[in-house]
């Protein structure tokens, strides 16, 4: 069950690929471990709307969604204890995306790393800056903001490349809260420093984009074969080997205990052959993965069961999202027309604010007037030589209210006794609402 005063932890994973050992070590395993912390409330979801930004192959998105969901559950995520769902099963997410879109500066999105990288690449190639850039890529951070803000997440575990997106989500939350009242929690990124960055077959970071991955749940025979393909130096058996810079050693370390790692380091020093080292690595990984592999396969073979699990998760998530979205719609003014008397105070009072209007006349002088919310002129200035002087008089009226009237007598048309009370009341409004709201 979700309990309001527990720390909410939320993270999503884009459904475009097959999980590999790097995803397991870097994200799945630590997240599953963290999900067992009973002082937190976990929200884990398959970001399939995000997948559409990078992938236009429907079958791949479907397959990847199944594989990733099965990987999480086979790795120990308990859908009874956390809220585990598919993004596209929550129609409130795209709905919230639009509300956030309307409080997000376009300039902020221009600076998002992924979009900027695409533009830079086009510029370097001499193409139009936005060539092949979809509005989906541009809007990526807003969709992600909706994922996070919808469930009032406090902590969002992500990779370093995602920190900027969490900061943007905070900004969206603040802007919205400022305009419409306190609705959103400001989320924080959590970067897991201790988690291993796994090298791939070629020694670079294991990543789909380098095509150097080992699938997490490949059949054992395939995994053994792939491990045999990890790059090593050409030292012969019997020659001492360096652990430093050895991809094989680093991968071993990500699965082994401290003792096992020390033993492997000794074997390196004593000149273990690469074939034997690879066999040890395969056995160590397989010891951890094999018990889950069967569960994974049974989930893959039963996609209807997976649909059921995900829909139950979406149900749980929507118990929060549906009423929250109803509140948010109301807050921005998408409401029943008969509910006009109920209003958020700040906004409604703001529309009733008086206004200073500045303008220049044919005589070349600068004037201002104070107009109330209904458009009635309450104060009328005489001509000033510069807009700056007119501005200074306005500032005094905003800051000091009616107290400034005697000092400004010489530059205002006389205030009749009949309007004085109204002038005073309207100037007080500036004080109540904070200054500068008229601008
Ligand atoms: N953009 C994230 C990634 O590529 C995935 C993601 C989507 C996400 N929505 C999220 C992560 C919300 C955390 C919170 O890694």
pLDDT for position 356: 86
Which atom of ligand 1 is closest in space to residue 140's alpha carbon?
Answer: 1
Give the β-pairing of 155-157 and 188-190: parallel
Query: DSSP string spanning 273-339?
Result: -HHHHHHHHHHHHHHHHHHHHHHHHHHHT-HHHHHHHHHHHHHHHHHHHHHHHHHHHHHHT---GGG
Spacing, Cα 131 to ligand 1 middle (Å): 25
* pLDDT of 340 higher than 60: yes
pLDDT for position 435: 41
How far is the C-alpha of 367 from the C-alpha of 361, rounded, in Å? Answer: 7
CA-closest residue to ligand 1 atom 14: 11
Spacing, Cα 155 to ligand 1 middle (Å): 13
How far is the C-alpha of 64 from the C-alpha of 69, rounded, in Å? Answer: 8
pLDDT for position 352: 59
Residue 236 three-state SS: coil
What is the distance between the terminal CA atoms of the chain, rounded to a whole angstrom? 47
Spacing, Cα 14 to ligand 1 middle (Å): 7
Q: What percent of the chain has pLDDT over 90?
A: 79
How far is the C-alpha of 190 from the C-alpha of 23, rounded, in Å? Answer: 17
Contact in structure between 172 and 143 (CB atoms under 8 Å)? no
pLDDT for position 301: 98
Ligand 1 pocket: which of 10, 161, 162, 167 to mutate (most atoms within 8 A of CB): 162
Spacing, Cα 241 to ligand 1 middle (Å): 40
Ligand 1 pocket: which of 52, 87, 144 to mutate (most atoms within 8 A of CB): 144
Which atom of ligand 1 is closest in space to residue 147's alpha carbon?
Answer: 12
How far is the C-alpha of 195 from the C-alpha of 311, rounded, in Å? Answer: 31
Q: How confident is residue 197, by pLDDT bands cut at 50, 70 and 90?
A: confident
Q: How confident is residue 403, by pLDDT bands cut at 50, 70 and 90?
A: confident
pLDDT for position 421: 83
* pLDDT of 342 higher than 70: no
Find the range with the poorest average confidence among 12-21, 38-47, 97-106, 425-434.
Answer: 425-434
pLDDT for position 5: 75
CA-closest residue to ligand 1 atom 9: 144
> Could you tell me the domains of the chain?
7-197+302-332 (3.40.50.620), 220-300 (1.10.240.10), 355-438 (3.30.160.160)
- Give me the mean pLDDT over the 20-24 stretch: 95
* pLDDT of 379 higher than 50: yes
CA-closest residue to ligand 1 atom 10: 12
CA-closest residue to ligand 1 atom 15: 13
Which atom of ligand 1 is closest in space to residue 14's alpha carbon?
Answer: 5
Spacing, Cα 294 to ligand 1 middle (Å): 28
Helices (H), 301-434: 303-332, 345-351, 387-400, 405-408, 417-433
Spacing, Cα 145 to ligand 1 middle (Å): 9
Ligand 1 pocket: which of 12, 93, 208 to mutate (most atoms within 8 A of CB): 12
Which run of H or E residues covers position 261? helix 258-269
Q: What is the DSSP letter of 256?
A: S
* pLDDT of 85 higher than 70: yes
Taking only the tens place, the pLDDT of each residue in 272-318 is 999 999 999 999 999 999 999 999 999 999 999 999 999 999 999 99
Taking only the tens place, the pLDDT of each residue in 135-172 is 999 999 999 999 999 999 999 999 888 999 999 999 99
pTM given for the model: 0.77
- Give me the mean pLDDT over the 189-210 stretch: 88
Taking only the tens place, the pLDDT of each residue in 24-52 is 999 999 999 999 999 999 999 999 999 99
Spacing, Cα 165 to ligand 1 middle (Å): 9
- Give me the mean pLDDT over the 406-435 stretch: 78
**Residues contacting ligand 1 via CB (< 6 Å):** 10-14, 47, 50, 144, 147-148, 156, 158, 162
The residue ranking higher by pLDDT, 220 or 373, is 220
Taking only the tens place, the pLDDT of each residue in 343-378 is 555 554 444 567 888 888 899 999 999 988 777 888
Task: Tell me what the pLDDT averaged over the chain comes to.
Answer: 91
Spacing, Cα 253 to ligand 1 middle (Å): 27
- 130 beta partners: none
- Give me the mean pLDDT over the 214-243 stretch: 96
Distances (CA, A) of 433 to 347, 371, 393, 402, 426: 10, 16, 19, 16, 11
* pLDDT of 437 higher than 50: no
How far is the C-alpha of 415 from the C-alpha of 78, rounded, in Å? Answer: 73
Spacing, Cα 156 to ligand 1 middle (Å): 9
Q: How confident is residue 438, by pLDDT bands cut at 50, 70 and 90?
A: very low
The candidate with the shortest Cα–Cα distance to 249, out of 239, 263, 235, is 263
* pLDDT of 71 higher than 70: yes
């Amino acid at each position: 069950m979700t309990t309001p005063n527990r720390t909410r932890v939320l993270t999503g994973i884009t459904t475009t690929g097959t999980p590999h050992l790097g995803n397991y070590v870097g994200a799945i395993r630590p997240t599953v471990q963290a999900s067992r912390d009973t002082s937190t409330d976990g929200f884990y979801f398959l970001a399939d709307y995000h997948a559409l930004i990078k992938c236009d192959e429907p079958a791949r998105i479907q397959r990847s969604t199944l594989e990733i969901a099965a990987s999480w559950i086979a790795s120990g995520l308990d859908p009874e204890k956390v809220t585990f769902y598919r993004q596209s099963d929550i129609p409130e997410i795209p709905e919230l995306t639009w509300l956030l879109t309307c409080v997000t500066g376009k300039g902020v999105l221009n600076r998002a790393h992924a979009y900027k990288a695409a533009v830079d690449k086009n510029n370097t190639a001499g193409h139009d800056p936005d060539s092949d850039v979809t509005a989906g890529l541009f809007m990526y951070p807003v969709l992600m903001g909706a994922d996070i803000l919808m469930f009032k997440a406090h902590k969002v575990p992500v990779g370093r490349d995602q920190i900027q997106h969490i900061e943007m989500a905070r900004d969206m939350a603040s802007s919205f809260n400022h305009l419409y009242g306190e609705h959103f929690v400001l989320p924080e990124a959590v970067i897991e420093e201790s988690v291993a960055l796994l090298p791939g077959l070629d020694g670079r970071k294991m990543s789909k984009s380098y095509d150097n991955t080992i699938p997490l749940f490949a059949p054992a025979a395939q995994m053994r074969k792939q491990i045999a393909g990890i790059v090593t130096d050409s030292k012969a058996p019997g020659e001492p080997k360096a652990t430093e810079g050895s991809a094989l050693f680093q991968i071993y370390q990500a699965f082994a205990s401290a003792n096992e790692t020390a033993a492997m380091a000794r074997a390196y020093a004593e000149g273990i052959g690469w074939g034997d080292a690879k066999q040890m690595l395969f056995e160590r990984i397989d010891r951890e993965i094999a018990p889950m592999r069967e569960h994974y396969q049974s989930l893959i073979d039963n996609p209807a069961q997976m649909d059921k699990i995900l829909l139950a998760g979406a149900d749980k998530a929507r118990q929060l999202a549906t009423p929250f979205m109803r509140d948010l719609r109301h807050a921005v003014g998408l409401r029943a027309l008969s509910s006009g008397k109920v209003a958020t105070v700040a906004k409604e009072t703001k529309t009733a604010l008086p206004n200073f209007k500045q303008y220049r006349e044919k005589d070349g002088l600068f004037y201002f007037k104070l107009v109330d919310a209904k458009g009635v002129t309450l104060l009328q200035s005489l001509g000033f030589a510069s807009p700056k002087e007119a501005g200074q008089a306005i500032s005094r009226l905003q800051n000091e209210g009616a107290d400034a009237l005697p000092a400004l007598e010489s530059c205002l048309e006389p205030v009749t006794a009949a309007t004085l009370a109204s002038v005073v009341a309207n100037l007080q409004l500036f004080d109540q609402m904070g200054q500068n709201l008229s601008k």
